Chains A and B, each alone.
Chain A
Amino acid sequence: MAHNSERKHWLSVLAKAPPIYFHELYDQLDQVWEYDVLRAAEIGAVMVRGAMGGSGDTFNLGEMTITRCSVKLREGSVGHGYVQGRDKLKAERVAVLDALLQTQSAPQLMAQVIGPLQDYMHKSRRDTAQKAAATKVEFFTLVRGED
């Protein structure tokens, strides 16, 4: 059984992964797994909360769409997929991967799916941070010419 922190890590990567790239990687796995759907993919919402002043008590900021699905592999392990947005296929595929990542397939899937997704998201975050850095300014306050 995978450690909770590892599972949290892959589920977080999968939830946030851009759907197009995710499906591309999943299709490349070119493997079929037998599983039962415990809870069919379902679109819903979660209430996103903010903190007053960034650090105080919470308030309700607004909802975001989310899709969830649960599956059970024939060999026994149960997987849960929670993904941002309304992609039911992605939620089901994430549930399958979550179940598989708890089996001996984990190293292979980490290398073929989680790793590349993580690299992709890191790179895109870094690209943005580099662009942001190009707009960093130094303001100077001017001393008024009073004699």
Chain B
Amino acid sequence: MYVAVKGGEKAIDNAHQWLDEKRRGDVSIKELTLEQIREQLPLAVNRVMAEGSLFDPDLAALAIKQSSGDLIEAIFLIRAYRTTLARFGMTQPIKTENMACIRRISATFKDAPGGQILGPTFDYTHRLLDFQLAADGERGNLEPADTPVAEQMPHITDYLKKEGIIQSEPVTGTQPKDLTREPLELPAARALRLQALTRGDEGFILGMAYSTQRGYGRNHPFVGELRVGQVEVEMDIPELGFAIEIGEIEVTECETVNQFTGSKTEPPQFTRGYGLTFGHNERKAISMALVDRALRWDELGEDNEGVPAQDQEFVLYHSDNIQATGFLEHIKLPHYVDFQSELELIRKLRTEALAKVDTLPEDAS
């Protein structure tokens, strides 16, 4: 239990002032600008937007600067800020099939219609430190091809769908619950699970996904498709009476194709896992798809193997790094009253135990 304490204002103010000073670092070195963070650390910005659950690169850059690069702290700042914003409405579902892809790969079909587009990727790099970057980061730009890639690329799973060998995604028109408006209740529908996963901690979701690959709820995933790019965001505007595109956001989408042998009611077919995140965030999107698929065991009539990745409660209650860090870090705050009572209890127990030892007959030892 946490009991309020008083005092320490001056020390706290000073501690915060020192924090500011540490954040700034050596003043003989140029101060970092938000534009530099936004443009040159985009993947950090993306993570803060995805887990902060607010798409705004400038705000994410500010949060990263303010938190001295502690991304969970930055996510915390964004989560706190977003609670101050009025909600103007809900958008229509983004149409990822219309994405202007900068990257689009399939691990299942090498001749994917529309082509495999590597985009800006760390894949196939040798992971050797590039000391040239330390000296001078300026590099030439990529020479563009004459013919641009297609404006729209169909989803790879559409081809499996045409053949009828992949489970189709139900469209019932059910309005999804919103984690930011109502507390998580179990069992959670898939829509709510996906919201929790997309804003969940990347490390946690990655660990859960990895556990399924190592055998704790194996679901044999193939990355049917991974795509990254800009999508338009459309929303109905009440005062206009029609929808407009209110913006454009970068997202990463991953569709996995998983083995499924069929059940009493379903013929053998592939099933899917789905990952979708703000920004270019592919490790997270793939992890999300694997965990989404693992959590679908019940609706797909699979066995509950009792593994963590199949356990909604385990995954959903531990994936949020702001809840986790809040609860974890609060134990370093003053717990004097609590501890005082523990102290008294242990002293009393010790005294009693020692008194008993003293009175024991000699041959009982």
Contacts and interface: CB of A to CB of B under 8 A. Distances in A.
B257 to A, nearest CB: 11
A80 B87 CA distance: 17
B68 interface: no
Contacts of B233: 46, 48, 64, 84
Given A49-B94, A133-B149, A57 B191 contact: yes
Interface residues of A, number: 57
B177 to A, nearest CB: 8
A53 B115 CA distance: 20
A53 B93 CA distance: 12
A44 B85 contact: yes
Interface in B58-112: 58-59, 82, 85-94, 96-97, 100-103, 110
B192 A130 contact: no
Interface in A48-62: 48-62
A65 B54 CA distance: 7
A139 B109 CA distance: 10
Interface stretch (B13-21, B236-244, B345-353, B357-365): B236-244
Interface string B183-211: 00000001110110011000000000000
Closest 3 CB pairs of A and B: A56-B169, A84-B247, A129-B148
17 contacts: A4-B242, A42-B86, A46-B90, A47-B89, A49-B93, A53-B272, A54-B255, A55-B171, A59-B194, A61-B251, A62-B50, A62-B199, A62-B278, A65-B59, A70-B239, A83-B247, A130-B147
Interface of A: 4, 7-8, 11-12, 15-16, 42-66, 68, 70, 80, 82-86, 125-141
